[in-house]
Structure 1
Amino acid sequence: MSDFSGYQIRSFHYGTESTSLESAILVEETPLAISVGGIAYAVMMVTPIHLEEFVIGFALSKGIIEDLSDIRDICIEAVNVQLDIDSISINLDISPRRFNHFKQKQKTHLGVTGCGLCGVESLAQAIPELSKLAPSKTIEPDTLAALRQQLTEHQKLGQLTGAIHAALLLSPDNKPICCMEDIGRHNSLDKVIGFAKKNAISLHNHNVLMSSRCSTELVQKAVRVGLSQLTHLASPSTLAVKLAKHYGLTLIHLPKQDAPRIFAPCMQSEDTVNE
């Protein structure tokens, strides 16, 4: 369910002269630079596992590509820039049509400023208008209670290291499909998205259970790839709920003690529907 073969398990000693030295297995945090067609795009910190799934999911959820067929090649290289820190670079070669679209968006991004009315373009990029999701099946609250335990069971790397986020992909009947882990919560969702795309899994009526709170960007990623349900162990932000309702995404919060909270389009009040 969660394969981290090739991942380097490393432990670090801790303690003082007055205490006995012990060791702890810690989660890997690695700088990763992404470029598209040789054009630098983003640098982020990742856990170096399932990197191909990550970059595919990242490209899809950012709108760089629309489908797996848009990718021509993925080149992953280990680099060492400074301070003897292991780093990774990934170059994504994409179709000419998507590359032209990417370059045009980059020009727009570089021309944006954050002052006065010029900031309107920045806000439009931060909250883009996306296609609404197709209607999905109704969630039964009774089926949600056991999901928290499922995430714990399948978070294999987390059991070793702690301090790592997870995203568990669930089938329409709540059966676990894959669990992806990363030091970044957004990265773990991107890895699930990439896994689903590589395995031709349509995310309609599927659910992703995440260890973190739900933010606006996670909602946008889910909507871009057609995911119907997004479940979190921490409460969502107000904007995340508003966007989820707008796009038809069923957003679920699983508190530790209280009953599940389902923020779904079908649960809008009459006042909201009539707006």
Structure 2
Amino acid sequence: MANDAAIMHSLAADLGWPSYQQSTVERWQDGQRSIQLDYIAEEVPVSLIYNGMPHVVMLASPTNLEEFALGFSLTEGIIKTPQELLSARVYNRSNGIEVQLKIPDERFQCMADKGRNLTGRTGCGLCGASTLKQAIRQPDHVSSRLILSAMDLFTALKGLQQHQKLNQLTGSVHAAAWAVPGKGIIQLREDVGRHNALDKLIGWLMRHGENLSEGFIVVTSRASYEMVQKTASVGISFLAAISAPTGLAIRLADEAGVTLIGFARGDQHVVYTHPQRLTHPTIL
């Protein structure tokens, strides 16, 4: 694959855990057999431990884990502001990775009362939620005057592939990208789990103090309820997914004031909620 060396150099592992492995495979195409070297995305158990108490273990790509911890803590409502994550230390273990987090005592007590302490699968969004109220959380209504053109959306979609370094190698990871009208994609995060990729991106946005009213998110997955909930929970008003939304996601987006786009591929898309934020060229 072209530029493999440059791509692999940019995917240096966090704390010794590689984001991919190499494997010799038997490939068949048009009835012909060949032996080739393939690149396989890794998924690693990542334990999030708050104030010394294990909270959840997520299967994730072992990159950008401090951003992941911050984004997860915010979108799950464990903390209210980035400043409430007092410290985050990542430790490499023989069987996975631990992220030791320190939060204020009052936030820790509220989190402990929720009782979430289970393993989250790669595609898990609500794993470990112990009550319906905890699982289906209503974020504050998003107020934003953001307006972007269909061309801004197309530009972001066109730029996705070149920013997906790990997926270029493995073809098996999701991405969440932050784009700004007139500038295209500003940052992108990848992970084997779509929720994890979004949490990593949100963590990056918060750490860098980005103005969340000036841009939008594009994800390489379906638009599930959890993806809308995470987007709205930090005040981002526009989410575009390359696949379909769910009915619950559409209802939440409508109630939360989020513009939800599905089937965003190439120069086509479907607008499900709050279409006023997306302008289209007038057809005479």
Cα RMSD (Å): 2.3
Distance in 2 of aligned mates of 1:148 and 1:265: 20
Residue type at the aligned position of 2:187: C
Whether the 8 Å CA contact 1:144–1:260 is kept in 2: the answer is no
Q: Structure 1's 163 and 28: CA in aligned 2 closer, same or farther, altered over 3 A?
A: same
Structure 2, unmatched stretches of 5+, are 1-6, 118-129, 277-284
Whether the 8 Å CA contact 2:60–2:191 is kept in 1: the answer is yes
Q: Structure 1's 196 and 255: CA in aligned 2 closer, same or farther, altered over 3 A?
A: closer
Distance in 1 of aligned mates of 2:45 and 2:92: 10
Higher mean C-alpha displacement, 140-149 vs 230-239: 140-149
Q: Pick the aligned partner of 2:110 from 101, 116, 119.
A: 101
Match of 1:67? 81
Residue 26 of structure 1 aligns to a residue whose secondary structure is strand
* Cα offset, 1:173, TM superposition: 3.5
Whether the 8 Å CA contact 2:178–2:186 is kept in 1: the answer is yes
Q: What is the TM-score of this pair, normalised by structure 2?
A: 0.80
Distance in 2 of aligned mates of 1:19 and 1:175: 41
Identity %: 31
Residue 133 of structure 2 aligns to a residue whose secondary structure is helix
Match of 1:36? 50
Residue type at the aligned position of 1:124: K
Match of 2:240? 231
Structure 1, unmatched stretches of 5+, are 81-85, 111-120, 268-275
* Cα offset, 1:123, TM superposition: 1.7
- Deviations, residues 57-107 of structure 1 (Å, cap 9, x unaligned): 010110111112111221211112xxxxx411112111122222222333x
Match of 1:138? 147
Whether the 8 Å CA contact 2:21–2:40 is kept in 1: the answer is yes
- Structure 2 residue 104 is matched with structure 1 residue 90: no
Q: Structure 1's 259 and 21: CA in aligned 2 closer, same or farther, altered over 3 A?
A: closer
Residue type at the aligned position of 2:220: S
Q: Structure 1's 39 and 138: CA in aligned 2 closer, same or farther, altered over 3 A?
A: same
Higher mean C-alpha displacement, 188-197 vs 127-136: 127-136
Residue 241 of structure 1 aligns to a residue whose secondary structure is helix
* Cα offset, 1:142, TM superposition: 3.6
Q: Structure 1's 205 and 228: CA in aligned 2 closer, same or farther, altered over 3 A?
A: farther
Residue type at the aligned position of 2:13: G
Distance in 1 of aligned mates of 2:264 and 2:229: 23
Residue 146 of structure 1 aligns to a residue whose secondary structure is helix
Q: Structure 1's 65 and 172: CA in aligned 2 closer, same or farther, altered over 3 A?
A: farther
* Larger strand share, 1 or 2: 2
Match of 1:5? 12
Distance in 2 of aligned mates of 1:103 and 1:256: 41
Match of 2:193? 184
Whether the 8 Å CA contact 2:154–2:266 is kept in 1: the answer is no
Q: How does 1:245-264 map to 2 (within 5 A)?
A: 245-256=254-265, 259-264=268-273
